[in-house]
Chains A and B, each alone.
Chain A
């Protein structure tokens, strides 16, 4: 398998960026990505991304929290260490609501936070795109496109991106850890 090369192109205009992404996708390049300092509306469509799985994780986390809270309160206060207060019920459902709600929220939030980081592969200390010094503007004010292509294709893709209005184009190699 030949070495992969990252072709990076900076765009000043959102529409030009999307047009470039669409053109490369039509040409059969699958490993594309767009970079911006803030979320762009329409990048999902330009890249043809599938729906995020984060909401599913949030739901599972929330259900896990609710189940844990109910089982915990029931087992600890009614089975393992029952406290009889004036012969009141050991399983008072209304009094279980606050902790059940809080634990549901807590586990759901943890699932969301670590789910987002996990799906995106963070934390990471290095990525091939960081090898290009000019790419620093991606977190400040510029829009970038990256294509991971075979070494022999790099020249052609770079030329294509220039024709599609890139302000600058750079290539870099690197093993994606």
Chain B
């Protein structure tokens, strides 16, 4: 049994918090409201779907051109050997991190407000990691030999070099995707059963019956399920911290000024959570309106997410500051040059755009007015997504384009193929997300029912203000 929930106590407090669930709906009402978007597709879904499908065509085109003609179609070349492929890889992986943070870390901290948004964020994680995984694969040059990445007994008689951070990446990203998928699906099983048992037609009943694996909500099964879910959350928590740390090792383990810093792992993780929360906001604000989730995704959820963005934004700002401090304090002229080049070099416009989006914009969230304004938080979330993308651009491109030897300096400009693949993955991500919103409960229905149950109990203990039962 949980202790009297903080929400119930807060109600008697003058600093009253907005509720986590608006009103006192019954389980049946919650069930019907939250599953309605599956049974009654929203108007406009088809249009959005077709738009995303069209955009995904750009991905097919870009990847097709790359495979047919080679990576020369991209803008990256020595000295900038890594560009859009790795920028987008890191950006997408980072976006995925908020999903795991919301679903696992906030679960362990017993943050009740995670309940309405975790499914949504976990789906975002899965789809973002899928986009991320694409980039290293198509950058392989000979992508049809992708399986050389895995340790398998090949006729070459060779094994992968496990001392390479790129191998660590393979293990980290594939583990992250698998564990996120298992965690997401395990959470989904009771909700698929709810869909099965609220379905009107036989075909729906059979389809959701298959995907719910025959779940019948037995107390004996809930016992295993609950401990299993908690353990997966416990595993995901260090996992999510490890993944972006390992991604940052791709850079930090190298000798390049601008990359070779010990601050990278925590700085990458903070940035990942920052951008991930921004992406959750970007998707959640319209979806909440469109799908009618206002009752369970309340002002309080949105405000809390804005607070997390403010906090992680400050961590990222600290990272920027500390990089410059270390460049000066180390007395290393190459290190100092890299950061002077970021501020004053040819990519300075991108650098200042990054500072504006990632450091200035989140500061508005000190004010409650900004934290509760839907329009502003949506704009801010998009700006932060842009800012985090430019951060990866700055880290990768500006560190590479002017290294130790001025004779080998160069500039990087993306080609249309680079843009096509990038915009294509954004569209593909939206496409998968739209399919998710169409066929799967976007809010963890069983968990909201459990939360309602707990809140009602806590309310009853606090003087029967919420009725209880």
A interface residues, Cβ below 8 angstroms from B: 13-14, 33-44, 46-47, 49, 52-55, 58, 72-73, 76-77, 80-81, 83, 85, 92, 95-96, 98-99, 101-103, 105-106, 108-110, 112-113, 115-117, 119-120, 122-127, 129-130, 136-141
Which residue from chain A places its CB closest to the CB of B164 in the assembled complex? A95
Asked if A115 and B228 make an inter-chain contact with CB atoms under 8 angstroms apart, the answer reads yes
Known contacts: A102-B242, A105-B235. The answer to whether A95 contacts B220 by CB under 8 A is no
B42 at the interface (CB under 8 A from A): no
B175 at the interface (CB under 8 A from A): yes
Asked if A77 and B27 make an inter-chain contact with CB atoms under 8 angstroms apart, the answer reads no
Chain B residues whose C-beta falls within 8 Å of the C-beta of A137 in the assembled complex: 197
Complex Cα–Cα for A41 and B407 (A): 70
Chain A residues whose C-beta falls within 8 Å of the C-beta of B197 in the assembled complex: 136-140
Chain B residues whose C-beta falls within 8 Å of the C-beta of A14 in the assembled complex: 469
Interface residues of B in 147-190 (CB under 8 A from A): 151, 157-163, 167-168, 171-172, 174-175, 178-179, 182-183, 185-186, 190
Asked if A39 and B450 make an inter-chain contact with CB atoms under 8 angstroms apart, the answer reads yes
Chain A residues whose C-beta falls within 8 Å of the C-beta of B218 in the assembled complex: 33-35, 120
B216 at the interface (CB under 8 A from A): yes
B221 at the interface (CB under 8 A from A): yes
Ordered by A's residue number, 22 sampled pairs between the chains whose C-beta atoms are within 8 Å are A34-B218, A35-B216, A37-B217, A37-B446, A38-B450, A43-B219, A44-B219, A49-B220, A55-B231, A58-B235, A77-B159, A81-B158, A83-B161, A105-B175, A106-B178, A112-B232, A120-B218, A120-B221, A120-B225, A123-B213, A138-B197, A139-B193
Q: Which of B27, B157, B159, B196 has the most CB of A within 10 A?
A: B159
B262 at the interface (CB under 8 A from A): no
Complex Cα–Cα for A92 and B179 (A): 27
Known contacts: A39-B450, A72-B151, A124-B213. The answer to whether A109 contacts B219 by CB under 8 A is no
Chain B residues whose C-beta falls within 8 Å of the C-beta of A77 in the assembled complex: 159, 161-163
Main DSSP-derived SS at the B contact region? helix
Asked if B235 and A109 make an inter-chain contact with CB atoms under 8 angstroms apart, the answer reads yes
**Further contacts, 20 of them, CB under 8 A, given A83-B161, A110-B182:** A33-B218, A33-B219, A35-B218, A49-B220, A58-B228, A77-B162, A81-B157, A99-B167, A101-B238, A101-B242, A105-B235, A106-B171, A109-B183, A112-B182, A112-B228, A113-B185, A117-B213, A139-B217, A140-B28, A140-B194
Complex Cα–Cα for A141 and B190 (A): 12
Chain B residues whose C-beta falls within 8 Å of the C-beta of A47 in the assembled complex: 219-220
B449 at the interface (CB under 8 A from A): yes
Complex Cα–Cα for A59 and B31 (A): 36
Chain A residues whose C-beta falls within 8 Å of the C-beta of B182 in the assembled complex: 109-110, 112-113
Asked if A109 and B232 make an inter-chain contact with CB atoms under 8 angstroms apart, the answer reads yes
Chain B residues whose C-beta falls within 8 Å of the C-beta of A138 in the assembled complex: 197, 216-217
Which residue from chain A places its CB closest to the CB of B445 in the assembled complex? A37
Complex Cα–Cα for A112 and B218 (A): 18
Interface residues of B in 206-253 (CB under 8 A from A): 209-210, 213-228, 231-232, 235, 238-239, 242, 246, 249
Cβ contact of B162, chosen from A55, A76, A120, cutoff 8 A? A76
Cβ contact of B28, chosen from A33, A36, A41, A141, cutoff 8 A? A141
Known contacts: A102-B171, A113-B182. The answer to whether A120 contacts B224 by CB under 8 A is yes
Asked if B186 and A116 make an inter-chain contact with CB atoms under 8 angstroms apart, the answer reads yes
Complex Cα–Cα for A14 and B218 (A): 14
Asked if A99 and B219 make an inter-chain contact with CB atoms under 8 angstroms apart, the answer reads no
Complex Cα–Cα for A138 and B196 (A): 11
Complex Cα–Cα for A85 and B164 (A): 12
Chain B residues whose C-beta falls within 8 Å of the C-beta of A136 in the assembled complex: 197-198
Asked if A122 and B213 make an inter-chain contact with CB atoms under 8 angstroms apart, the answer reads yes
Complex Cα–Cα for A14 and B453 (A): 11
Complex Cα–Cα for A53 and B224 (A): 8
Complex Cα–Cα for A122 and B189 (A): 11
Complex Cα–Cα for A116 and B189 (A): 12
Asked if B31 and A140 make an inter-chain contact with CB atoms under 8 angstroms apart, the answer reads yes
Known contacts: A38-B446, A49-B220. The answer to whether A139 contacts B194 by CB under 8 A is yes
Chain A residues whose C-beta falls within 8 Å of the C-beta of B222 in the assembled complex: 36, 39-40, 43
Which residue from chain B places its CB closest to the CB of A58 in the assembled complex? B231
Cβ contact of B239, chosen from A40, A105, A115, cutoff 8 A? A105
Complex Cα–Cα for A14 and B450 (A): 13
B455 to chain A, nearest CB (A): 13
Complex Cα–Cα for A44 and B226 (A): 12
Chain A residues whose C-beta falls within 8 Å of the C-beta of B203 in the assembled complex: none
Chain A residues whose C-beta falls within 8 Å of the C-beta of B17 in the assembled complex: none
Cβ contact of A141, chosen from B31, B209, B213, cutoff 8 A? B31
Chain B residues whose C-beta falls within 8 Å of the C-beta of A103 in the assembled complex: 171, 175
Residues 261-272 of B, flagged 1 when their CB comes within 8 A of A and 0 if not, give: 000000000000
Asked if B28 and A54 make an inter-chain contact with CB atoms under 8 angstroms apart, the answer reads no
A4 to chain B, nearest CB (A): 17
Asked if B224 and A140 make an inter-chain contact with CB atoms under 8 angstroms apart, the answer reads no
B1 at the interface (CB under 8 A from A): yes
Cβ contact of A52, chosen from B26, B227, B235, B249, cutoff 8 A? B227
Asked if A99 and B31 make an inter-chain contact with CB atoms under 8 angstroms apart, the answer reads no
B29 to chain A, nearest CB (A): 9
Complex Cα–Cα for A171 and B203 (A): 26
